[in-house]
Amino acid sequence: MRIAIIGAGIAGVTSAYELAADGHEVTVFERRGSVAAEGSFANAGIVAPGLALAWARPSFPRLFSGQPPGWQWRRWRAGRKPDAERRARLLHLAAFSRERLQHLRQRLALDYERTEGHLVLLRTASDAAAIQTGLAVLDEVGLSYRVLDADQCRAVEPGLNPDIALHAGVQLAQAEAGNCRQFAHQLRLEAQRMGVQFRFHTTVRRLQAGSPVQVTHEHTPPEDTPGPASRQVEPGDTMPAPSGEQQESFDAVIVCAALDAVAMLRPLGLKPALHAVQGVAITAPLRQLEAHPDLGPRAALFDQQRQITMARIGQRVRVTGSEEHALHAVLNDWFPGAMATGQVQRWSGAHAVLADGLPVLGASGSPGVWLNLAHGDSGWTLACGAARVLAEQIAGLPPEVDVSGLDIARLG
C-alpha cells in the first residue's frame, strides 16, 4: 500500500518505521524541518507503562487552566468514574509498547542515552495515601512495582538530599529514561533505509477521504529561506520543493499531527476535542565532582506532590513540569548543586490531550483515514506499541494487543 503519515513527532516516526517494515511505501509530511521538532523535542524522556494512565497518577483529575469549562467538567468526570476496561487496555498497550521499544533497540543497535528505573517520591504520608488508587490500578492489570521506605529510596538513588523530608517511594518496574529526540532521529534513518520519504517544511492543507485518499500539501519553507536553493537540509532529507499546492493520492493516511489534527479532520466531520497542555523543561549537564559521584539522579524520578519529573539523560539532567521556577526549586530540593546552571537549555511545548486522558488510535470512520493522536505526555511510552498495533490494523490483522475502546468511536 501507498501510505501517508502527517506529522513527524515520535508517533509519526514510529508509525513510518513499522509500516515500512511491513513493506508499505511510506511518505511522511512534516511542517517543521526535522523529526521530533515540537512536542517530542525535549519531553520528559520517560518510558514508564505504570504512569501511562492518568488515573494511575495521584494528580488526576488535575485540571488545566485555560481550558473550556465543559472540557474541565468532562475531565473531572472521567477521573471520578474511569472506564476499567479502557484503562486496562491502555496499560497493556503501554507495557507492550515498552517491549516493542526494547526489541527495536536491540535489533537496530540504537543508543539513545537510556538509563533504567523510575522512582515516584512521596514526601508525606498524605502523598502516600493519595497514590493508593493508582497502585490499585497497577495491581488490576498486573504491572509490578515496589513500595520503598525512605532508606530504600536513598539506596536506589544515593544522591537524594538527606535533609529533605521523604516519607516513602514507589519503584516502577520496566521503566526507563532516555533521549526521545535522539531515538526519533535514529529510527528515522532506519526508516529511510527502507525507502520512507520525509518531506519536511511541507504543510498538509486538506484531506479528502475515499479510495484513494487525496492529500493536498504545500511546501512551506521558513521565511528566512525563501527558496530551495538557499535552505539548509539534513543529510538524507527527501523533501520536495515545488511551489504552490500539490495533490497526491494514497491508499491510507495516518494523522499524527497532534493539535493540528483538529482543523484537518473537521471537514471530514470528525471533531475530537483535543486541547493543549503546556509543559516546560530545563536540561543541563550534571556537575562532575569526584568526591560526590552521585550528585544527580541515576535514572528517572517523579515528585508526586509537585508533579515534576527529573531524569538522567546521558551526562545531563532534564526536569519537566508546568512552571519553570518550580523546576529549579524541586531539583534543588532533591539534588542540590547537581546542575551546571550556566549551561541550562530551556524548552516549552504543548501536548494534545482529550478530557478522558486516553489516546485516539485506529480507524477514523472516514474511508482511508487513520488516527494516532492524543498521547499527551505519555507519547514515548505509547509510541512504539501504538505504531505496531496501527500497522496490524491497516493490514487487516488482529493486533497483538486489544485496543478496542481506544478509537474515535468512544467520543461519539
DSSP codes, 264-318: HHGGGT-----EEEEEEEEEEEBP-BTTBTTSS-SSEEEETTTTEEEEEETTEEE
Let me know if residue 253 belongs to a domain. Answer: yes
The identity of residue 237, as a single letter, is D
Let me know if residue 268 belongs to a domain. Answer: yes
Q: What is the pLDDT of residue 28?
A: 98
Instruction: Let me know if 175 is exposed, middle or buried by CB neighbors in 10 A (0-12, 13-18, 19+).
Output: buried
The CATH number linked to 244 is 3.50.50.60
User: What is the pTM (predicted TM-score) of this model?
Assistant: 0.90
Q: Cell 508499505 identifies what position? A: 24
Taking Cα atoms as reference points, which of 311, 321, 327 lies closest to residue 377?
321
**Interior/surface letters 211-229, b for 16+ CB within 10 angstroms, e for the rest:** ebbebebbbebeeeeeeee
Q: What is the pLDDT of residue 231?
A: 42
Query: Vertex 376, ends 169 and 123: CA angle to 5°?
Result: 20
Instruction: Report yes or no: 409 and 34 within 8 Å, Cβ to Cβ.
Output: no
Q: What is the mean pLDDT of each run of 10 residues along the chain (412 residues)?
A: 97 98 98 93 92 53 53 55 79 95 97 95 94 88 94 96 96 93 97 97 96 96 55 49 89 96 94 89 87 82 94 95 93 94 91 89 96 92 97 94 93 82
Let me know if residue 301 belongs to a domain. Answer: no
- Three cell numbers, residue 17: 518505521
Q: Which residues contact 332 (CB under 8 A, 6 or more apart)?
A: none
Q: In whole angstroms, give the CA distance from residue 9 to residue 349.
A: 13
Q: What is the pLDDT of residue 82?
A: 59
Q: What is the pLDDT of residue 387?
A: 98
Let me know if residue 136 belongs to a domain. Answer: no
Let me know if residue 73 belongs to a domain. Answer: no
Instruction: Let me know if 165 is exposed, middle or buried by CB neighbors in 10 A (0-12, 13-18, 19+).
Output: exposed
Instruction: Let me know if 343 is exposed, middle or buried by CB neighbors in 10 A (0-12, 13-18, 19+).
Output: exposed
Let me know if residue 61 belongs to a domain. Answer: no
The identity of residue 404, as a single letter, is S
Query: In 3-state terms, what secondary structure has residue 121?
Result: strand
Instruction: Report yes or no: 180 and 46 within 8 Å, Cβ to Cβ.
Output: no
Let me know if residue 288 belongs to a domain. Answer: no
Instruction: Report yes or no: 284 and 317 within 8 Å, Cβ to Cβ.
Output: yes
Taking Cα atoms as reference points, which of 158, 136, 165 lies closest to residue 56?
136
Count of C-beta atoms within a 10 Å radius of residue 109: 8
The identity of residue 249, as a single letter, is S
Query: Vertex 136, ends 134 and 140: CA angle to 5°?
Result: 120
- Three cell numbers, residue 346: 530551556
Let me know if residue 202 belongs to a domain. Answer: yes
Domain that holds residue 258: 2-42+182-273+355-411
Query: Vertex 257, ends 71 and 37: CA angle to 5°?
Result: 115
Q: What is the pLDDT of residue 234?
A: 52
The number of folded domains in the chain is 1
Q: What is the pLDDT of residue 185?
A: 97
Q: In whole angstroms, give the CA distance from residue 402 to residue 396.
A: 14
